[in-house]
Amino acid sequence: MMPPDPTPEVRRDIERCLLAYTRGVDRLDADLIAAAFHSDALLEGYGSPGEAPVQSFLDRVIPSLRDRFRTTQHRLSNITMEQRSDHVAVESYVLALHVATSEAGPEQLSTFNGRYIDRFEQRDGRWAIAHRQLRVDWSSVDVIGEQMAGAYVFGTRDQSDASYR
């Protein structure tokens, strides 16, 4: 028998939280990222052994993404949720695209396909991540060739981006 689904309201709140996280990462917005987590949340699987507190992750992720990549896009799909006695277990597939520039050659596209395995808890009326495990399913690094023709306007990775207006 399948565990019960959370209510539509809980599902909506959790999905908003997940999307705030991905938007925060792509816009380098530490406040949006932090809003997805409880302040004592632990993260595991982000390139260092064991679990790390969310504040340690925040201190590291923004400068790392800013310094290493021109842009990123994180896309979520296949979001499943199971209501447990005291939390909601959530698995989300993530496709993360990272574009790195190089003075020595063409841009590179790093593609990460994996999953977020989250424990969401409601505290003081707010659903947020209490524990996250990141799991990789596959990844690749490719050279970006010729760009599409057109006079496109590039997004920005801060609050000057059009999405904040």
Global pTM reads: 0.92
The C-alpha atoms of residue 17 and residue 33 are separated, in whole angstroms, by 9
Tokens encoding 81: 């949720």
Alpha-carbon torsion, ordered 21, 19, 17, 62, to 10 deg: 10
Q: Structurally, how many domains does the chain consist of?
A: 1
Q: CA 80, 38, 165, 94 torsion: positive or negative?
A: negative
The Cα–Cα gap between 159 and 111 comes to: 25
pLDDT greater than 90 at residue 69:
yes
For 71, the domain range is 8-145
Q: Is residue 38 part of a domain?
A: yes
Here the CATH number for the domain that contains residue 73 is: 3.10.450.50
Q: Mean of the pLDDT values across residues 54-71?
A: 94
> What mean pLDDT, rounded, does the chain reach?
94
Q: Does residue 158 lie within any of the structural domains?
A: no
Asked, for residue 165, whether it belongs to a domain, the answer is no
Structure tokens at 20: 């705030």
Whether 101 is in a domain gets the answer: yes
Give per-residue pLDDT as tens, 21-55.
999 999 999 999 999 999 999 999 987 788 999 99
**Residue 2: what pLDDT?**
74
Q: Could you tell me the pLDDT band of residue 79, with boundaries at 50, 70 and 90?
A: very high
* The pLDDT value given to residue 38: 98
In a domain, 151, yes or no: no
- Is residue 161 assigned to a domain? no
Does residue 36 contact residue 22 with C-beta atoms inside 8 Å?
Answer: no
Q: What pLDDT band is residue 59 in, cutting at 50, 70 and 90?
A: very high
